[in-house]
Each structure stands twice: as C-alpha cells, then as structure tokens.
A and B are shown apart, each in its own frame.
Chain A
Amino acid sequence: MTSHGSNNILAEAVRRVGSVTIFFFQLLAQCVPALSRPGLIVKQIYNTGARSLIIIMLSGLFVGMVLGLQGYDLLRRFGSEDVLGAGAALGLLKELAPVITALLFAGRAGTALTSEIGLMRATEQLTAMEIMAVNPLRYIVAPRFLGGVIAMPLLTAIFAIVGLYGAQLIGVEQMGVDRGTFWSQMQEAVELKNINEGLVKGLVFGIACSLIAVHEGYHAAPTAEGVGLATTRTVVASSVLTLLLDYVLTAEFL
C-alpha cells in the first residue's frame, strides 16, 4: 500500500475516533435530563435486554456445556477433574460471559439500535423532532444508550449463571464429577473480585457497544445503503473494540 493510502486510512481512523468521542460527551450531557423520563429508559431496557434473553440464555447454556466437556477432558488427563467447577466458574465469570454477551449484544441489540435510529434519520423523524424544538439526543438516543448500558451487566450475569448450570449439567450429571466437590471447589476458588471483574467488563462493553450502535445510527447516511453500511460498521467496530477492551481490562484486573 502506498504511504498516501495508509495516511488516508489513518486520518479516517483518527476522524472517526474523534467523532465518537465528541458524540459521547454530547450524549453524556443529555443523559442526566433523560433520566427524568424513566419510562423511556425502561422501554429500552426491555427492547435491548429482555428481548435478548433467549439468545443470551441459549448461548450461555451451550458455552457452559462445551466448557464442562472440554474442561473435564483436559483436567482428567492430570487427574484433577475435581476442580472442574472452579475452572468453569472462573472462565465464565471473568472472560466468556462478558465477552460473548457483548458480541451477541452487538449482533442482536446493537444492529437493531443502529438501523432504528438510522431509519429515523432517513425518514426525517429526527429532523422533525429538531424542528419541534425537542433534542433527539435527549429523547431518542440517550434512553437507548442508557437502556443498553444497564442491560449489558444484567445479561452478562444471566449468561454466567446459565453457563454454570450448563457446565454442571455435563460435568456432574453426565461425566460423574462429584456434585459436592464441583460446587465446593467453585466456592473456594471464586472471590468477589472475580465476580466484579465480569460485571465491570459487562458494564464497559455495554457502554462501548451501545455508544457505537447509537453513534452509527445517528450518523448514518439517510439512504437504504447508508443504513445497511452503518449496521455492518456497528457489528464490526463493537466486536473489535470489545476484544481490545477485554485485553486492557484483563491486564488491569490481574
């Protein structure tokens, strides 16, 4: 690639980061007044959170089951299948639950947010609101952002709980690890800070994914193609940012 081309890509990347940052501060300024409309936020928690429950719980169950299976297979080689409960719990709470929940959230709720706001832009609903002297950031964007931020840690917790049940289902019920050992090892190994790590990650990923989703929707070109592109960008940017932030947060918590 020519240096001119890479310069352009770099400039575009800097421009986008700047745009998201400015948008984030504008949005934060509108979040406080938006809190005076709890009804709007609750509706969005339902839309982004409650409606993602099935996909989150199903994925949690299967991830937990795979973890039980793989964990058992690995630990048996060292004769330490007793610590399966501890391993599954730490893996789920610290990493798998927040990261996979965020990736699923980006695909399920993030795309819905982007396309909804993008279509509102394309059909002039946001402009109409501006003309009616109502700030769309306060009325449309802030409740959706806050809904996502509140829903994500809750979804992460639910993912972890269902995942633990899945690991127990395979480890204890199918592979025959002692039930008492499975749970007591887990109780022994998991500390409060491990649970906090998962929840803090959930919250940070929630902020990142919701911010990207509403930013892309709000700035989508007002055409069918523009909304489609914005939706794609939401998934790509949210996924990459989630994994990047995961590394940073993991390093911070160790």
Chain B
Amino acid sequence: MVDIRNLAYGVGGREVFSGLDLRVLRGRITGIMGPSGTGKTTLLRLITAQVTAGHGQVMVFGRDVAQLGRSGIYALRRRMGMLFQDGALLTDMTVFENVAFPVREHTDLTEPLIRKLVLTKLQAVGLRGAAELMPAELSGGMARRVALARAIVMDPEVLIYDEPFVGLDPISLGVILRLIKQMNSALGITSIVVSHDVHQLGTIADDSYLISGGRVAAAGPPAELSASDSPAVQQFLTGSADGPVPFHYPAPDYTTQLLAPEPQ
C-alpha cells in the first residue's frame, strides 16, 4: 500500500530523513515509533503528499506521489483517511455536519442517504447521541472519535493515525485502541499508527518500525522489536534518559561555562 524507498528529506538545512525504507502492507496495522522530533509527523506529511521528498521515492497505491499533480494528489487522498492529534474538527459545524462534510463535498448522495451514512459512522464510534453538539462541547477523547468517524465516512483504504493516544484518560484510550483494531479487522482498512507510546502500540500493531536518527533503527512485529539488542531500540523501549539519544542538548563544557567570567 505504501512503499518508501531510500527517502531523504530535510527542512531548513537540517536533515530529517536519510536513507529511510519502510513498507506498509495491505490489511495490516503498521506502527511507526520514535522519539519526539524524529520526524514521525513529517513522514505522514510525505505519505499524504503535503510535502515532497528531496531524494528517494514515496509510493502510495503503487504511484510515486512526487509525480502527481494537484488533481492526482486529491484523487489519492480520497482513498485515505487521517486522524489528527487534536481531531482538527471544523469548529463552525456540528458533529453531524463535520462527519457529513467529505460526503457532501465528494458525492451527490441525497440528504436522507447522507443522514443514514453519517449516523452509521457515529454509531460505530459510539457518538450517535452527540450528533447535534458543536466541537467546542466535546471532550478531547470524544473529539478524536468524531474525527475518526469523519475519517472513515468515505470508506478509505488506508487510515492514518497521528499520535492517537496522546492526552487521553484510560477509558478513552481503551476506546480508541478498540476502535483502531475494529476498523482494521471489520472494515479491512490498512492502518498506519504513528506514536511514541511503545506499550499501547505493541498491543495492536502487526508490524512496527522504530525510527531514529533519520532512518529505520529496527523493524518487525512488536515482540521481535523488544528482543532487539540495538542500543537505540533498547533506550527507546526501556525509556532510559541517556543513550544514543543523549539527555543533554549539545553544550560547551559545564565546568568551563560555570567558572567563566560573567558575559558583559
């Protein structure tokens, strides 16, 4: 479904990826992990063609996204759904209108049909009763579930989750985990889940990639990853403060700096 080969990408002179290879297989849940600042969200921006790679290829549905024009990119995106970290619901519409939005934009379905479709999707995320609420009236977990209903309303082939576990209470977290699993098994949607939550991702992912230093540090099923003896993987999995990712941001020598005269 998604095939990334030898990807290099930089922003403002800083190299984010160099020689990254990654494959997402049809019908599976692929977890992408990595410390904050490794460019996980940038990777999603590359897959959804919001930015294009400097070198290498990003193939989605067998097509190189860098070769696509605007209409080609839009056609590609219609086959994808994306769940944003904060939901990114349109704040001037009700929950119902938010979920109906892509349907109204891309189809000529009649109003009664749209209503049935939207209510089905809201029922799937347990928020049919909240259809008339405004986004401002929802809790963080509810907003994310509405965004999930919106992401699946066009029956996408690939569903992308950007940090879906951040800032959720244990109940909302459980609900989201169950929903991701359910979307994958019941609807056959290929899922890409980006997160730094190793344990939650381990419970749902079929394949996982650990990205560190601009390339894939380890790949395989989550269980295989925990058995890896790579220092980068072990630091990330055990959460050690120091290791290949240093605790200290690069700085001059501590003693020298403390003893140096006050700068004028």
Binding site for B on A (CB under 8 A): 120, 123-125, 127-135, 139
Q: Are A124 and B74 in contact (CB under 8 A)?
A: no
Instruction: Indicate whether A124 sits within 8 Å of B84 (C-beta atoms), given known contacts A130-B50, A131-B77, A132-B77.
Output: yes
Cα–Cα, bound, A17→B82 (Å): 35
Chain A CB within 8 A of B78 CB: yes
A135 to B86, CA, bound (A): 21
Contact A123 B106 (CB under 8 A): no
Task: For A127, give its contact among B50, B101, B105 (CB under 8 Å).
Answer: B50
Chain A residues with CB under 8 A of B102: 132-134
Q: Is B223 an interface residue (CB 8 A)?
A: no
Instruction: Return chain A residues, CB-CB under 8 Å to B101.
Output: 132, 134
Q: Mark B81-115, 1 if CB is under 8 A from A, else 0.
A: 01011101111000000000110011000000000
Contact at A131–B80, with CB atoms within 8 Å?
yes
Contact among A123, A131, A135, A139 for B48, CB-based, below 8 A? A131
Complex: how many Å from CA A120 to CA B75?
Answer: 24
A-B contact sample (13 more), CB < 8 A, given A128-B147, A129-B90, A132-B102:
A123-B86, A123-B91, A124-B88, A125-B90, A125-B91, A127-B50, A128-B84, A128-B89, A130-B77, A131-B50, A132-B101, A134-B102, A139-B105
The docked-state distance in angstroms from the alpha carbon of A128 to that of B85 is: 11
Most B CB contacts (10 A, CB to CB) among A124, A130, A133 go to: A133
A-B pairs, top 9 by smallest CB distance, nearest first, are A128-B88, A124-B88, A133-B74, A133-B77, A131-B82, A132-B102, A133-B78, A134-B105, A124-B84
Q: Which of A123, A125, A128, A129 has the most CB of B within 10 A?
A: A128
B residues 90-144 with Cβ under 8 Å of A?
90-91, 101-102, 105-106
A134 vs B82: C-alpha distance when bound (angstroms): 13
Residues of B189-216 whose CB lies within 8 A of A: none
Residues of A contacting B48 in the complex (Cβ-Cβ under 8 angstroms): 131
**Nearest B residue to A129, CB-CB:** B90
Closest residue to B84 on the A side, CB-wise? A124
> Contacts of A129 on B, CB cut-off 8 Å?
90
**Contact status of A128 and B82, CB under 8 A, knowing A123-B88, A123-B91:** yes
B205 to chain A, nearest CB (A): 22
Known contacts A131-B80, A133-B74, A133-B77, A125 near B88 by CB under 8 Å: yes
B105 touches A132 (CB 8 A): yes
**Considering the chains assembled together, what is the distance between the CA atoms of A134 and B98 in angstroms?**
13
For B82, list chain A residues within 8 Å (CB): 128, 131
Contacts of A133 in B (CB 8 A): 74-75, 77-78, 102, 105-106
| Alpha-carbon distance A123/B102, docked complex (angstroms) | 18
CB < 8 Å neighbour of B86 from A120, A124, A132: A124
What's the least CB distance linking A53 to chain B, in Å? Answer: 21
> 24 A-B pairs, CB-CB below 8 angstroms?
A123-B86, A123-B88, A124-B84, A124-B88, A125-B88, A125-B90, A127-B50, A127-B84, A128-B82, A128-B84, A128-B89, A128-B90, A129-B90, A131-B48, A131-B80, A132-B101, A132-B102, A132-B105, A133-B75, A133-B77, A133-B102, A133-B106, A134-B105, A139-B105
Instruction: Give B197 Cβ to nearest chain A Cβ, in Å.
Output: 20
Chain B positions 136-176 with a Cβ under 8 Å from a chain A Cβ: 147, 150, 154
Q: Is the CB of B88 within 8 A of A127?
A: yes
Q: Which residue of A lies closest to B48 (CB)?
A: A131
In the bound complex, how far is the Cα of B147 from the Cα of A123, in angstroms?
Answer: 13
A123 vs B74: C-alpha distance when bound (angstroms): 21
Nearest-CB residue, chain B, relative to A128? B88
Assembly CA distance A148 to B112 (angstroms): 34
Residues of chain A within 8 A of B88, CB atoms compared? 123-125, 127-128
Which A residue's beta carbon lies closest to that of B74? A133
* Interface hits, B211-237 → A, CB 8 Å: none
Q: How far is the CA of A133 from the CA of B147 in the complex (A)?
A: 15
Tell me the bound Cα distance from A125 to B84 in angstroms.
Answer: 9
Tell me which residues across on chain B come within 8 A of A135, comparing CB atoms: 74
Residues of A close to B78: CB separation below 8 A: 133
Residues of B contacting A128 in the complex (Cβ-Cβ under 8 angstroms):
82, 84, 88-90, 147
